[in-house]
Amino acid sequence: TPLPPLIAPSVDPRYADALQPPYPAAERRAGREGRVTVRVLIGVDGRVKQIERVDATSDAFWNAARTQALSRWRFRPATRGGVPEEAWRTMTLRFVLEES
C-alpha cells in the first residue's frame, strides 16, 4: 500500500510573533535592509533541529535568523497518516527599517 501523503509542517500560531529576529544593531546603524532564506529541519516536537543557510544579505542577518530559529521558533510538525514526522521547510525573513 502506498504511504499516506506528508502534510508539511506549519508555523505554530502561538509562536508566530517569535519568527522575526531582532534587527542586528550594526545593520540598523548602517541603514541596511536585508533578507535571509533558510532551510529548517523541524522535529516531531515542533522544534528546529537543524538550520541551513540558503541565502543571506549579510552574515549579521544570517546569525540573527539562526539564533532566533534555534531558540524561539516553534512549528506544528509534519505528519504522515496523523503521525508526526521530521521534515524540512524553507523560510525567508525580511529585515526592513521602519520610519521613526
Of residues 69, 87, 77, 70, the one with CA closest to residue 10: 77
Cα separation of 45 and 74, whole Å? Answer: 9
pLDDT of res. 100 = 61
> Looking at domain 6-95, which CATH architecture does it have?
2-Layer Sandwich (3.30)
3-state secondary structure of 25: helix
The residue to which cell 541596511 is assigned: 32
Q: What is the pTM of this model?
A: 0.90
Average pLDDT per run of 10 along the chain, which is 100 residues long? 94 95 96 97 98 98 97 97 97 89
Confidence at residue 61, expressed as pLDDT on a 0 to 100 scale: 98
The span from the CA of 3 to the CA of 24, in Å, is 44
What single DSSP character describes residue 18? G
